[in-house]
Structures are given as structure tokens and as C-alpha cells.
Amino acid sequence: MSRRAMLMALMGLLVLGTACPDVYGIGGKFDRAMEKDIKEMHEERKRELKDPDVDDDEEWHCPEGKVEVRDCTSLPCKVECQ
């Protein structure tokens, strides 16, 4: 291979082999999008743990004179009347 062909091949690899740092680099578009998705997932999970959904069929009512006690350390929450 001549020097000129080697130089052209090297330049082609250099141009095609490097990515756009504003897209793929640290703090680029992909990093920001992934950070946003992860933040949204964490917020959604926090809301789920704070206020677990209770279906209408599974409503819990304690008899008069007793207090409802919820244990939500694990899902589904355990509900007892004391």
C-alpha cells in the first residue's frame, strides 16, 4: 500500500471512528436522557411506596372501637385492627 492510500485509510477511520461528544460524551444528550429517565423511575417508585394503590374490592374496614394499623415495610401492606 502506498503512503497516500494508508493516509486516506487512516483519515477515514479517524473521521468515521470518532463519535460526536455532544451526543455520546459525558454530559451529552444520551447521558441527560438517561439521567431524566432514572430520576422519573425513582420518583414513581417513591410514590408507589408512599401511597400504595388500594383496589375498591380490597378495602379494609375495622369494626367500631378498633384502630387500623398498616405495616408497609413490604408490599402488599399488612393491615390489622387493634
| DSSP structure string for the chain | --HHHHHHHHHHHHHHHSPPHHHHSTTSHHHHHHHHHHHHHHHHHHHHHHS----GGG---PPTT--EEEE-SSSSPEEEE-
Residue ranges per domain, the chain? 20-52+60-82
Predicted local confidence at residue 58, as pLDDT: 54
Predicted local confidence at residue 57, as pLDDT: 44
Distance CA 66, CA 3 (A): 90
- Asked whether the whole model's pTM tops 0.75, one would answer no
pLDDT, tens digit only, all 82 positions of the chain:
689 999 998 888 777 666 677 877 788 898 999 999 999 999 998 888 887 554 444 565 777 778 888 788 877 777 788 7
